[in-house]
Each structure stands twice: as structure tokens, then as C-alpha cells.
Amino acid sequence: MPDGVGRAHWQQEFARLQAFLPDLRGDVVGWAGKHDKIYVGIRCAATAGGRPLQFRAMDLLTVIPDGTITRRDSSFDPTPLITALFTRPAAWAAWWRSGVAPLAGRRAR
């Protein structure tokens, strides 16, 4: 997902992701916090090309004293997702139509 700011941006990005992986689920598997930083470990699961897909993600949240999140950095190892795309042709059309595909021209359509 490209960087962005604001609710409208993230609603649009998550709509693309849900179009590709409509059954995507994230479960928190652990967290830790110190000062204004919170680390959250997430196990993600979905179906891609008719077969299960699992990967892990890590979010780093920056929080101000009133509890507002002012920054979110998320990272994950894309290997399971890339492997699923290369080995599951049934997932290609949904990936392309969703706009998640990394081609800038495709996102505009």
C-alpha cells in the first residue's frame, strides 16, 4: 500500500485489499509498549486462489498522551503473498482488478 494520510485514503486502500482478499482476518498475537510506542504482532489469514494464505505483520504505533495514534508503520514479509500469486493463477484476476497490483496505471482504473 502506498503511504498516505487521512481516513479517506486508508478507506480506499483497505477497500482495494478487501477486493483482493475479501476474507482477510488479522489476529493480534502479541504486543509491547514503551513510552509513546506500541508494537503489535498480527497473524493474517485469507484465501487466495481458493487456497489458504497466511502471513505475519508487525505494526509500530506512535501514540500521544490522549490515546490518539499519530503514526502507524506496518511491515511484513511478502514472501507468502508473492508465492501465492506466482503459484495460484486463480488469484491473478482478483489481484489485478482490486487495484492492489503494483502497476501505477492499473491503480487509476
Domains plus CATH for the chain? 7-108 (3.10.450.50)
**pLDDT single digits (tens) 62-106:** 999 999 989 888 899 889 988 998 899 888 888 888 887 765 444
Amino acid at 9: H
**% of the chain exceeding 70 in pLDDT:** 89
Checking if the pLDDT of 3 tops 70, the result is: no
Report the pLDDT value the prediction gives residue 109, as an integer from 0 to 100: 46
Report the pLDDT value the prediction gives residue 64, as an integer from 0 to 100: 95
What are the start-end ranges of the E strands in the chain? Answer: 25-34, 37-48, 51-63, 69-76
Run of H or E residues at 43: strand 37-48
Instruction: Name the residue among 35, 18, 41, 44 with its Cα closest to residue 100.
Output: 18
